[in-house]
Amino acid sequence: MKKLRQHLKDYLALRRKFGFKLRVQGGLLAQFVCFAKAKRAAFVTTQLALEWATQPAESQPAQWANRLGMVRGFAKYLSAVDARTVIPPQGLLPHSFQRKSPYHYCDREILDLIRKAKELPSPKGLRGETFSTLFGLLAVTGMRVGEVVHLERECVDLQQAVITVHHAKGERSRVVPIHASTNQALRRYERLRNRVCPHPASSRFFLSEDGDHLTERAVASWFVRVSRQTGLRGQDDGCGPRLHDLRHRFAIRTLLRWYRTDKDVEAHLPELATYLGHRSVTDTYWYLSAVPELLRQAARRCERSNGGRLS
């Protein structure tokens, strides 16, 4: 009979054929298989799944529930090939992920981030420009961090002033038009990058000091360092404004601008959803309930349309 490790390889291969990347889930399930091996467990049981899922003890309960859900999916697959498998019942860890309210950066905070990023230690003179340009691009386009980090050079068309995002969340591609000032900033970075790294080890648009590709973890680490220098976080703070909040800021400012200029938000919302790469327009609607100012604007619009009465 196959070992759990081989079953996991088969399970991940099968799901990836259907388009699932499973980068995080694959790594975590590999940890589960190692955990099972250490426990000398040859098959999945509810107790084994619970014991692994509730680690580490300091994690949020929602994270425990997420880990158990991953094992549950694997166990469903295993039950068809190993009758000893026990599928953990639903509801054992009934915690759900609560979407964090976005931090709404002000203009000064964005400028401070970019300025401090430029001052990062950089033996070849590239690191500061890489991160200042990258942070600025996130702020003005609302792109996801992973999308910017994985941009290939060929995807950044500075002649047409558009960025093509391939293999985004949900395996969807989209075109992101950019402003003339953004285009100029990217051109400046491109010239410096080509001068510092004439023979790079990576074809990505944004490069590290040694000419290799960036990782999302490295970007997050440098962001934390810069955000502490600007006062967005305390020196020992593990939590605080996130890079992803730059995406939220873009969406929120766009919606506020539409409301303040009396645009038909309902009609334009699908455009914003497409620009952001949201799977559904309902993902964009979330901002209306997450930001008090947007709720007030929506309420005023509703009140005007109902002759001064809120229905």
Tokens 């691009």, located at residue? 137
Active site residue ranges: 144, 169, 244, 247, 278, 287
3-state secondary structure the chain: CCCHHHHHHHHHHHHHHCCCCCHHHHHHHHHHHHHHHHCCCCCCCHHHHHHHHCCCCCCCHHHHHHHHHHHHHHHHHHHCCCCCCCCCCCCCCCCCCCCCCCCCCCHHHHHHHHHHHHCCCCCCCCHHHHHHHHHHHHHHHCCCHHHHHCCEHHHEECCCCEEEECCCCCCCCEEEECCHHHHHHHHHHHHHHHHHCCCCCCCECCECCCCCECCHHHHHHHHHHHHHHHCCCCCCCCCCCCCHHHHHHHHHHHHHHHHHCCCCHHHHHHHHHHHHCCCCHHHHHHHHHHCHHHHHHHHHHHHHHCCCCCC
